């Protein structure tokens, strides 16, 4: 029995909302439309099919709620199996590839994990995130030091923008660790 371990960022966002409180696709769309969570999509043509897939995989379960709505709503809730998959996914180590290719995904994982796998795991996550970011920043800086002189000004500036972005994320992660350790 092979275990599928890959989850798209959108699916992760959907599960992250559903795990906090059972809700319908429409509810999710409203959240996406009114908060920065909308960063993860805003089109029904992505959300409804994604919910179907999650249901087909047995990670969420939809119940038709015909009670008082104009049109029957389908309220999804997490299955135990889905919770397990989600926990495993959230506990995956942070890789270099993640920080290069999937920063969005990492931030979403961070936002969800505290409530699902606990504070200790969150702190560990932030620490490894900071390490990977710092290592990557060092790599980019040395690349820039090597070839920067021979690059046109705009090329150098573009690289600096990238480096600064990663660096500010690393600093943020360090600060987040402190806040979570001292705060509640």
Partner DNA sequence: CGATACATGTAACCGGTTACATGATTTT
Partner DNA sequence: AAAATCATGTAACCGGTTACATGTATCG
Residues that bind a copy of itself (CB under 8 A): 35-36, 39, 100, 107-108, 110-111, 113-115, 122, 140, 143, 152-155, 157-162, 164-165, 168-169, 172, 176, 179-180, 183-184
40 vs 136 by CB, closer to DNA: 40
Least distance CB 130 / DNA (angstroms): 25
Q: Which of 31, 37, 38, 46 binds DNA (CB under 7 A)?
A: 46
16 vs 134 by CB, closer to DNA: 16
Least distance CB 16 / a copy of itself (angstroms): 11
Place of tokens 């999650």: 54
Number of residues binding to DNA, judged by CB under 7 A: 29
Least distance CB 141 / a copy of itself (angstroms): 11
Query: x/- contact string, 52-91, with DNA (CB under 7 A)?
Result: xx---------------xxxxxxx----------------
Place of tokens 């992505």: 46
Binding of DNA at residue 48 (CB under 7 A)? yes
HEC letters along the chain: CCCCCCCCHHHHHHHHHHHHCCEEHHHHHHHHHHCHHHHHCCCHHHHHHHHHHHHHCCCEEEEEECCCCCCCEEEEEECHHHHHHHHHHHCCCCCHHHHHHCHHHHHHHHHHHHHHHCHHHHHHHHHHHHHHHHHHHHHHHHHHHHHHHHCCHHHHHHHHHHHHHHHHHHHHHHHHHHHHHHCC
State the residues that interact with DNA by CB under 7 A. 6, 8-11, 24-27, 29-30, 41, 43-46, 48-53, 69-75
């Amino acid at each position: 029995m092979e275990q599928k371990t890959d989850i798209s960022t959108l699916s992760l966002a959907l599960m992250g909302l559903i795990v906090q409180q059972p809700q319908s696709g429409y509810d999710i769309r409203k959240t996406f439309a009114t908060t920065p969570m909308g960063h993860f999509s805003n089109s029904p043509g992505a959300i409804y099919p994604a919910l179907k897939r999650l249901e087909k995989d047995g990670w969420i379960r939809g119940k038709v709620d015909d009670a008082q709505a104009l049109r029957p709503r389908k309220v999804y809730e997490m299955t135990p199996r889905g919770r397990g998959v989600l926990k495993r996914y959230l506990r995956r180590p942070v890789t270099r590839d993640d920080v290069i290719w999937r920063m969005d995904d990492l931030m979403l994982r961070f936002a969800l994990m505290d409530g699902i796998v606990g504070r200790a795991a969150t702190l560990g996550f932030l620490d490894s995130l900071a390490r990977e970011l710092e290592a990557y920043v060092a790599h980019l800086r040395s690349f820039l030091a090597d070839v920067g002189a021979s690059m046109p000004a705009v090329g150098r500036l573009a690289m600096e923008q990238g480096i600064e972005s990663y660096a500010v994320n690393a600093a943020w992660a360090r600060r987040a660790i402190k806040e979570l350790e001292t705060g509640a």
